[in-house]
Amino acid sequence: MIASQVRALVADKRITVRLCDPDQEPSDAQNVDLLVIDLHTWDAPQSEALAKLVERWRRAKPGLSVWAFGPHVDTALLDAARSAGCDLVVPRSRLLSSLRKSLSDERGGDPPEPDNRRST
């Protein structure tokens, strides 16, 4: 479900986002603008494996922006992604808002979408 939400957010933008599995090779890295790693697909905190994945993709496309997201309760996994060199590591609940903000910033600071939650 998160993949379809990410695709919907970038559908009319000029960027290509790739949601990456742990063993995915960067065969088309030159066509990718943002690599997003779903940490929930990893069995355990594996900093070394994550670092190798990030390194492979960045070797294929230097300067590639790499984000990772995962369960907020799995701090060891989130820390492993930070240690692996991911540019942004967020809990799953913040991925879409972070992407929305990044896209807004790149467009020149368009106002963010309204927050429809009620405050009490």
Q: Where are the domains of the chain?
A: 2-106
Element (H, E) at 65: strand 65-70
* Phi, psi torsion values for 68, nearest 5 degrees: -140, 145
pLDDT at 96: 87
Q: How far apart are CA 93 and CA 88, in angstroms?
A: 14
Helix pair angle (2-10, 92-106), 10° resolution: 10
pLDDT at res. 91: 92
Q: What is the pLDDT of residues 13-38, one digit of tens each?
A: 888 888 887 778 888 888 898 999 98
Per the listing, tokens 């995915």 go with 24
Report, as ranges of residue numbers, the positions in the chain whose pLDDT lies below 50: 108-120
pLDDT at 43 (0 to 100): 67
Q: Report pTM.
A: 0.77
pLDDT value, residue 19: 86
Burial class of residue 15 (count of CB atoms within 10 Å of its CB; 0-12, 13-18, 19+): middle
Return the CATH superfamily for domain 2-106. Response regulator (3.40.50.2300)
pLDDT of residue 66: 93
